[in-house]
Structure 1
């Protein structure tokens, strides 16, 4: 399913931080997990600038590793600040989703 862009944009930071919090990973695998999780295809032109912002904000750290017979990869790990931000985003997202659902469903 192709979700409206504005919906995906609203959820992407928390989703990416959540994926990176599970294990050290690289961009392609993050995109794959987003797709497998039902969020659809997230293009590199959206994902990599977000990962760069998360790195600049101190929520993730990145390190380059040589590839085995191929190009190197940039791996991402969550920082303590990123874990704290993710915890806050999870709480805030649930509150927002509850309110949005109530308004949209007419309750």
Structure 2
């Protein structure tokens, strides 16, 4: 599998956290730079029709803030930056993501849920 052709469902699952991380990593930025950063990071091309709704949701959640600036000889640009709430959300969500992907990785490697997992197995008798 080419690194730029991940299954769409994987990209959707990780995109909000990755966009939040990109905004924090880049500092005050704009959508085009976020998309380039994600692509350079190996996540593949993220088109505007996918990216901009994510940026809007992050702003609605209070994780980013935006402002318009005049363009030099062209249209203005909407700049985005992370808020303190966004930094806290990134840290928390990144820890959750790392736990989740660790469990998925352990399951795939061992063929069974890892020890200390909160997964509860159900017997056939319990479902009757």
Name the one with the larger helix percent. 1
Normalising by structure 1, report the TM-score.
Answer: 0.96
Structure index of larger Rg: 2
User: Which residue of 2 is the match for residue 96 of structure 1?
Assistant: 100
User: Which residue of 1 is the match for residue 20 of structure 2?
Assistant: 17
Q: CA deviation at 1:68?
A: 0.7
C-alpha deviations, 1:14-48, integer Å up to 9, x for none?
11111111211100000000000000000111100
Give unpaired runs (5+ residues) of structure 1.
Answer: none
Q: CA deviation at 1:105?
A: 2.1
User: Which residue of 1 is the match for residue 117 of structure 2?
Assistant: none
Instruction: Give the number of the structure with larger relative contact order, counting CA–CA contacts within 8 Å between residues 6 or more apart.
Output: 1
Matches within 5 A, 1:1-107: 1-22=4-25, 23-106=27-110
Normalising by structure 2, report the TM-score.
Answer: 0.81
Give unpaired runs (5+ residues) of structure 2.
Answer: 112-128
